[in-house]
């Protein structure tokens, strides 16, 4: 018996087009995968990548399900959870928060608040969120205190269905002991999914989403050498970096994760993590830039 499927000419054409394009798409993915692997082979450390085209769900990874220390990338989910509390009326962006100097992270940690206000500070919640995204460890810990600790923030993120992210320790603890950084980890796939959720606008209000995107799009020389480093000028990127100390040539984490707006208006979530590296900072940042450029070229070329 011959089974006949009733398709009109238009449907048959679309089906045929899909059959014709599938090998090309798979070949393109393999080519990008090979580029990721070639980049990995040229570094002294571990490389994790997830590139996710938000509009279609197409995703290409290298070590995408492995755990990498986040360092300051974890300030992005912390900010998301804080802004959700603002949306729910539990806080206001104009709330004034007293920060005592005893709450300042140690000198070896990055904290512009500590340097600018050595005797303590009174800042609005909005200012603290901005400092947090700028990687201020003191600001991060203030937000964690307001949110009732790391476990509560992790629970909020896990309740979104994104469970391969661990938010376990404060900056105060992490700064003192470099080994603690491995307790705050994420997989590249999970971080890209979190950026996808942020972009889709189902978690935060439009005003909170816009505010956080604004803070993560600020240009600065030290902020733009990674994902943005080799992209065409004026490419729109929102992102959060993370970096650990380098001790005797060893760097536990050099990261960047965010969303690239492609020339055609589509959005590429990209998470790149480098752990346990003996490369210098320039090479680590160039590695992230090369990954970003390869992914950008793949989704902007005629495949």
Domains of the chain: 44-300 (3.40.710.10)
Q: Which of 37, 53, 70 has the alpha carbon at shortest distance from 291?
A: 37
Q: What is the pLDDT of residues 243-295, one digit of tens each?
A: 999 999 999 999 999 999 999 999 999 999 999 999 999 999 999 999 999 99
pTM of the model as a whole: 0.90
First to last CA, the chain: 39
**Cβ atoms of 274 and 254 closer than 8 Å:** yes
Mean pLDDT, the chain, rounded, equals 92
Q: What is the 3-state secondary structure (H, E, C) of 163-197?
A: CCEECCCCHHHHHHCHHHHHHCEECHHHHHHHHHH
Q: Which residues are catalytic?
A: 72, 171
Residue 257: phi, psi to the nearest 5? Answer: -145, 140
Exposed, middle or buried: residue 74 (CB in 10 Å: 0-12, 13-18, 19+)?
buried
Q: What is the pLDDT of residues 178-213, one digit of tens each?
A: 999 999 999 999 999 999 999 999 999 999 999 999
Residue 258: phi, psi to the nearest 5? Answer: 175, -155
Question: CA Rg, the chain, in Å?
Answer: 21
Q: Which of 284, 234, 236, 288 has the alpha carbon at shortest distance from 260?
A: 236
């Amino acid at each position: 018996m011959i089974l006949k499927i009733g398709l009109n000419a238009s449907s048959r054409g679309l089906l045929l087009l899909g059959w014709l394009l599938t090998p090309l798409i798979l070949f393109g993915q393999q080519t990008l995968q090979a580029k990721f692997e070639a980049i990995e082979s040229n570094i002294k450390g571990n490389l994790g990548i997830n590139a996710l085209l938000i509009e279609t769900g197409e995703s290409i990874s290298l070590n995408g399900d492995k755990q990498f220390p986040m360092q300051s990338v974890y300030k992005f989910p912390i900010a998301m959870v804080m802004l959700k509390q603002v949306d729910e009326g539990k806080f206001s962006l104009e709330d004034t928060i007293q920060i005592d100097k005893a709450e300042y992270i140690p000198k070896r940690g990055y904290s512009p608040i500590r340097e600018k206000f050595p005797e303590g500070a009174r800042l609005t919640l909005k200012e603290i969120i901005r400092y947090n995204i700028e990687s201020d460890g003191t600001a991060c810990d203030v937000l964690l205190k307001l949110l009732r600790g790391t476990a509560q923030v992790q629970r909020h993120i896990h309740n979104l269905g994104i469970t391969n992210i661990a938010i376990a320790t404060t900056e105060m603890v992490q700064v003192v002991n470099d080994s603690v950084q491995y307790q705050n980890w994420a997989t590249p796939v999970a971080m890209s999914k979190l950026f996808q959720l942020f972009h889709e606008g189902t978690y935060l209000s439009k005003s909170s989403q816009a505010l956080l995107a604004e803070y993560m799009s600020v240009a600065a020389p030290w902020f733009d050498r990674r994902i943005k480093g080799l992209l065409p000028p004026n490419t729109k990127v929102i992102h959060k970096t993370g970096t650990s100390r380098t001790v005797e040539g060893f760097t536990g984490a050099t990261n960047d994760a965010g969303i690239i707006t492609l020339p055609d208006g589509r959005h590429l979530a990209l998470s790149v993590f480098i752990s346990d590296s003996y490369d210098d900072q320039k090479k680590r940042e160039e590695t992230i830039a090369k990954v970003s450029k390869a992914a950008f070229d793949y989704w902007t070329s005629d495949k």
